Structure 1
Amino acid sequence: MNRQQQKLLRGLVIAAVVLLAVLAAVLLFKRHSAEKQAEEEAAQEAASAITEDHGYTSLTYTNSTATLSFTLDEDGSWIWADDPEFPLDDSTITYIIQILQSLKPQQTITDGDTLEAYGLDQPSATLTATDAETGETLKLTFGKATTDGTSYYMLMNDAECPVYIVSDTLYDYLSTPIYDMCVLPELPVLTEETLNSLTIQGAVETTLTAAHNESVGTDDAEDTDEETTDGEETSSVTWTSGETDVTDNETLQSLLDELSTLSFTKCADYKPSDEAVELCGFGSPTAVLTASYVTDSGTEGTLTLTLGTKNVDGDSYYARMDDDTTIYLISASAVSALVTAASSGLGA
């Protein structure tokens, strides 16, 4: 082969390489465009299925600890399917429905890794919502969190592709325990002006009686710069324990401060077993408070508050109110004076 032929062959080889590179680039571009189009179409399909204004009437979600199901009752309120009598605060369920109707994938993966790589082979949570009117069901399956921890991998309607990445907001709501959705009963606001008597039982039993004293003021301001109103009624409360005036007792004053702000912090057990009642210390209560008071309507009311033992964290007591069998939690710091009075009385 002479030099001219070699030169021609070299040119042909270069041209072929360039052509192959161009073809590869075109194919890569087409593939990328096709993947992008597929992702866009999948995202649009997901957004349409998710954000369509369905009239969901039932909702079930499963997380790492429980499976919870909810349905709409005749009044349009959500109830816990396992126990319709449970005092459900349905705001969490309402938020979930709202998120479903506005959820949009942050990213759509149509040609990705294995389901195992996204944690979707063993889902961390699932959600199923049903529209009773249309009979349509939406199912979302969640895998693991993304690297930055702000989003989750998700599948829709049992399809293994595409994989979606969505914000962690919905997943966080699916982690809400049922007892965190319990409507807590309100304890009456007990003040010196409304209280008539207190009985505290524990290692020591103490009964306290309030005497409400009213007096009419007189104008004695002749020798002072202060003005008083003639005939103005003032009131004071005298507390006695037996024959002893304990009005100024520090433990009593601390107890009165506590009673004016008492509140439960959480439901611990809605329908406890006898064993649970015993384990929470109600067989031998730490303290039992019985308060007689005047209600806003002027009638006589009675509150019985029973404290069991402290919870595992040690920051709260198990508590019950009146005849309610539900076990609640109440902050230990909110009943410290009550516990003191139950264990050792009012002291010196």
Structure 2
Amino acid sequence: MKKKKGPLILIGVLVLLLILYFALSTWNKKQDSKEEETVKVTDLKTSEITGVKYDLGTGEMNFEKDGDTWYYTADKDFPLRQSYPKTVADAMGQLSADRELEDADALEEYGLDHPTYTVTLTDEDGTVTTIKVGNATGNDYYATVDDTEKVYTIPATSLDDIQTELDQIAQLDTYPSIGSGNLKKEVITQNGETTTYDSENEDQAEDVAAVAGGLGAVKLSEAADYSVDDADLAGYGLDATSRITVEVAYTSDDEDQTMTLYIGGENGSGDRYVMMNDSRIVYLISDEICNNILNQ
């Protein structure tokens, strides 16, 4: 009597499929593990970094930490956004590479003898770590640290957080949301004379709507001076004898609030110099918006 081969063949196919399944599963896990592996370029305790300096080819930017406060070294009165140097310290102090080159050539072959970018980190013990970034290679850059002569390829995105413009790192003043719905009163003082627009005065409804439109259009986004000295206020028309003072009463979340704007001279390009409350930042706001605020 012949034995039936069908079930044996099916069992054999099943065993083969199981072997293939486990082999593929093991291979995938190994690949995932490889993808998760990173090459450390720097491994610093970022909370202990007290100095961040870099040059991206447009001039050196330098920041230092005193206690818990970061300062822009060139101007300690500059309103530095405190999260900024910490972000750079975190990114550069824990920098990872796509790979480390084996048997790397001389540094000049990668543009690292005269680096395109240089980032220097200093910790609280005075230890200095210098990251040099050279030529681009695809979506990466060649990089090295200190004098190790090890060459890495780091993602170009590693440098995304590093800024070179002051307006990108400044902590500008927060301007309130003001409109005809929450403006209570505006008092303008100019050349010793005072003009008042009161929302409770029905005869001034049109004027109140006009000045509210001006106040609501203000955007504090462009600065002419980030930390003006008293001696320089006259140059902006913002000294006490020249400026126009605009005192604003409004409500926010059902709470009474006040704000003071100081409007100075024109810059010759369609803007006027403006300051807010006791801030030392001089902003640029268009003539048109200022004229609406003043109901001119």
TM-score range, shorter chain: 0.5 to 0.7
Match of 2:188 among 199, 206, 213: 199
Please state how far the C-alpha of 1:139 moved relative to its aligned partner.
0.9
Aligned residue pairs total 254
Match of 1:338 in 2: 290
Match of 1:326 in 2: 281
SS at match of 2:220: coil
Please state how far the C-alpha of 1:336 moved relative to its aligned partner.
3.0
Give the direction of change, closer, same or farther, for the CA distance of 1:206–1:50 in structure 2 (3 Å limit): same
Please state how far the C-alpha of 1:58 moved relative to its aligned partner.
1.8
Q: In structure 2, what is the Cα distance between the partners aligned to 1:311 and 1:56?
A: 47
Contact 1:130 1:136 in 2 (8 A): yes
Q: In structure 2, what is the Cα distance between the partners aligned to 1:337 and 1:287?
A: 16
Please give the per-residue CA displacement for 1:259-309, whole angstroms capped at 9, x wherever unaligned: 2463411444223479976776769xx994512425769778451231544
Q: In structure 2, what is the Cα distance between the partners aligned to 1:338 and 1:301?
A: 18
Match of 1:210 among 175, 178, 198: 198
Match of 1:37 in 2: none
Q: In structure 2, what is the Cα distance between the partners aligned to 1:170 and 1:310?
A: 39
Please give the per-residue CA displacement for 1:129-148, whole angstroms capped at 9, x wherever unaligned: 12325x533210122433x4
Kindly indicate whether residue 206 of structure 2 is the aligned counterpart of residue 255 of structure 1: no
Please give the per-residue CA displacement for 1:85-144, whole angstroms capped at 9, x wherever unaligned: 4332122222222223442212333433661x53334333211212325x5332101224
Kindly indicate whether residue 59 of structure 2 is the aligned counterpart of residue 59 of structure 1: no
Contact 1:201 1:287 in 2 (8 A): yes
Task: Please report the RMSD computed on the Cα atoms of aligned residues, expressed in angstroms.
Answer: 4.0
Match of 2:84 in 1: 92
Match of 1:157 in 2: 146
Greater mean deviation of Cα atoms: 317-326 or 291-300: 291-300
Give the direction of change, closer, same or farther, for the CA distance of 1:268–1:201 in structure 2 (3 Å limit): same
Give the direction of change, closer, same or farther, for the CA distance of 1:70–1:196 in structure 2 (3 Å limit): same
Q: In structure 1, what is the Cα distance between the partners aligned to 2:121 and 2:204?
A: 61
Q: In structure 1, what is the Cα distance between the partners aligned to 2:99 and 2:195?
A: 67
With normalisation by structure 1, the TM-score equals: 0.57
Contact 2:225 2:283 in 1 (8 A): yes
Match of 2:160 in 1: 172
Contact 1:125 1:174 in 2 (8 A): no
Give the direction of change, closer, same or farther, for the CA distance of 1:325–1:87 in structure 2 (3 Å limit): closer
Contact 2:61 2:164 in 1 (8 A): no
Contact 1:139 1:157 in 2 (8 A): yes
Counterpart residue identity of residue 199, structure 1: I
Unaligned runs of 5+ in 2: 1-36
Please state how far the C-alpha of 1:166 moved relative to its aligned partner.
1.0
Kindly indicate whether residue 129 of structure 2 is the aligned counterpart of residue 123 of structure 1: no
SS at match of 1:100: helix
Counterpart residue identity of residue 161, structure 2: Y
Greater mean deviation of Cα atoms: 296-305 or 180-189: 296-305
Match of 1:108 in 2: 100
Please give the per-residue CA displacement for 1:144-163, whole angstroms capped at 9, x wherever unaligned: 433x4x3322221034x333
SS at match of 1:95: helix
SS at match of 1:99: helix
Give the direction of change, closer, same or farther, for the CA distance of 1:253–1:299 in structure 2 (3 Å limit): closer
Match of 2:66 in 1: 73
Give the direction of change, closer, same or farther, for the CA distance of 1:324–1:94 in structure 2 (3 Å limit): closer
Q: In structure 2, what is the Cα distance between the partners aligned to 1:276 and 1:119?
A: 44
Contact 1:287 1:307 in 2 (8 A): yes
Q: In structure 1, what is the Cα distance between the partners aligned to 2:118 and 2:160?
A: 12
Match of 1:136 in 2: 127
Greater mean deviation of Cα atoms: 267-276 or 104-113: 267-276
Match of 2:262 in 1: 305
Counterpart residue identity of residue 220, structure 2: F
Counterpart residue identity of residue 60, structure 2: T
Q: In structure 1, what is the Cα distance between the partners aligned to 2:158 and 2:194?
A: 51
